[in-house]
Amino acid sequence: MPKQTRSDPPSAPSTRQQLSRRRFLKRAAGASTAALAVPFIAPASALGRDGNVAPSERIVMGCIGTGKRGTGDMRIFLKEKDVQVVAVCDVNKGSQLYHLGTACGREPAKKIVESHYTKTAVAGAYKGCKAFGDFRQLLEIDDIDAVLVATPDHWHALISIAAANAAKDIYCEKPLANSVAEGRAVCRAVEKNSRVLQTGTQERSRDNARFASELVRNGRIGKLHTVRIQMPCSEPHHDSVRALKRMPAPEPVPEGLDYDFWLGHTPKVPYTPRRCHFWWRFVLSYGGGEMTDRGAHIIDLAQMGMDTEGTGPVEIEAKGSRETTGLYNTFMDYAFTNTYANGVRMIGENRGPRGVRFEGTKGWVFLNVHGCAIEAEPKSLLKEIIGPDEIHLERSPGHHRNFLDCVKSRKTPVAPAEVGHRTATICHLNNIAMLTESKLAWDPVKERFKGNDAANALLSPHMRAPWSL
């Protein structure tokens, strides 16, 4: 559990709006003896009739981080009939996102949730959605089974660890963490508390992505020798980042934004809207630039196709360019080569089209990101049938749905903590190689660089007191 920045928050009130899956199962176990002596008539809603989902099957959720992406994830979960969102949390009470013009924050999210449930079959029993500015208050709600974590990247690890320690299952947006050490700490917390965690690398849930991996793993392209990662920085927001070559003047903190809490464990610096909201991903204290943004999707697909999801490369070479005098300091131009123990090379650069290409001795397969449109040479690969005795990857009903199914079954989701951590690690390794201007030897078991103290010092952030892993 991360240390706290302020006095402990007051205990959050219980969500007595509907009987949750967690409380239902506890009551069912505790009342089994009494039920033998006392007649009990269950209402239709408790049995899952009249369009309702039985409490034993309902997943009660809280959503932490309600910016543009978090609100989008929340809307997806709201569509699932066996989910009930009862609480939202954001350090931003509510504002227009600079650049995107979208109303985000805890109060807009609360309104979305309450509006949704007034239109559903359970509206009569729903008593409202709670809104918090401190994630610890939301995690104190015992009835919540699972949480969405969709904050800026520098908060992913501390919140996910706290959620695991509070016995909540977790859907955490990609990348899993903003450093290698934080990602490993998340994995430990998830394992220790027997939690289900799904990393938000939704591209791997697509049928084409899984089929492409089957083609590669089953040798349809021959012996795999090269994987090409294509991550262009050519969109308007990339141009805007490149154009800002100075530090913007400080501005007053907007009313309703707990800016110090937003900064969290990172250094205390003046507020500017170009630091927060959408733009944080281009400041190394909060994100890793395109390398951890789309890279977390593309490299993740490469890991799946190579069947290296539990490990990583052993040699890292990377060069790049970035601004160092202004606000944004992530790499906008880059080229990297990651070599695996089996000799396969993963070569990346900032050119398009965005996606991953697997090259073998008999052909190649390319997956476009986003959407995973698939191309191949020879084209006949796209009509291949994977035989019953070959390697098959289980198909996903959708990334969010897969998470919910695993919350109920306690099975491993398609993007568990270890997989998300290994993908994010590769992104961080490339950034570290560019920062140190070094060719690095990496031990994927010990998760340390060999003979490079300067690089090892960048595996974990220096956290502002009193926050710590």
Q: Which of 55, 56, 61 lies closest to 138, judged by CA?
A: 61
Domain 21-203 class in CATH = alpha beta
Return d(Cα 54, Cα 27) in angstroms, integer.
14
β-strand partners of 149? 64, 172
Which distant-in-sequence residues (6+ apart) come within 8 Å of 168 by Cβ?
A: 62, 139, 144, 145, 146, 147, 195
Contacts 24+ apart (CB under 8 A), 27-30: 28/56
Q: Which two tokens stand for residue 45?
A: 């809603």
Q: 355 pairs with which residues across the strands?
A: 230, 368
Count of alpha carbons within 13 Å of 118, Cβ hemisphere only? 8
Domain boundaries along the sequence of the chain:
21-203, 204-383+417-456
Paired sense of beta strands 333-339 and 345-349, if any: antiparallel
Cα–Cα distance, 217 to 358 (Å, whole number): 11
Ramachandran category for residue 359: left, alpha or beta (phi over 0 → left; psi -120 to 50 → alpha):
beta
Distance CA 43, CA 125 (A): 12
CA–CA distances in Å: residue 355 to residues 16, 228, 372: 46, 8, 8
Give the contacts of 151 (CB within 8 A, at least 6 positions apart): 64, 65, 67, 70, 159, 173
- In the chain the first and final C-alpha atoms are separated, in Å, by 7
**What is the largest distance, in Å, between two alpha-carbon atoms of the chain?**
76
Return the closest-CA partner of residue 127 out of 135, 118, 119: 118
> How do the pLDDT tens digits run along the chain, 469 residues long?
444 433 333 333 344 344 566 665 655 555 444 444 444 443 444 444 455 677 778 999 999 999 999 999 999 999 999 999 999 999 999 876 544 556 789 999 999 999 999 887 554 567 789 999 999 999 999 999 999 999 999 999 999 999 999 999 999 999 999 999 999 999 999 999 999 999 999 999 999 999 999 999 999 999 999 999 999 999 999 999 999 999 999 999 999 999 999 999 999 999 999 999 899 999 999 999 999 999 999 999 999 999 999 999 999 999 999 998 999 999 999 999 999 999 999 999 999 999 999 999 999 999 999 999 999 999 999 999 999 999 999 999 999 999 999 999 999 999 999 999 999 999 999 999 999 999 999 999 999 999 999 999 999 999 999 999 9
- Closest to 197 measured CA to CA, from 444, 466, 413: 413
The 8-class DSSP code of residue 99 comes to: T
d(CA 440, CA 211): 33
Identify the architecture of domain 204-383+417-456 in CATH. Answer: 2-Layer Sandwich (3.30)
Q: Rounded to two decimals, what is the model's pTM?
A: 0.90
Q: For the sheet containing 197-199, what is the strand order?
A: 130-132, 83-89, 59-64, 146-149, 169-172, 197-199
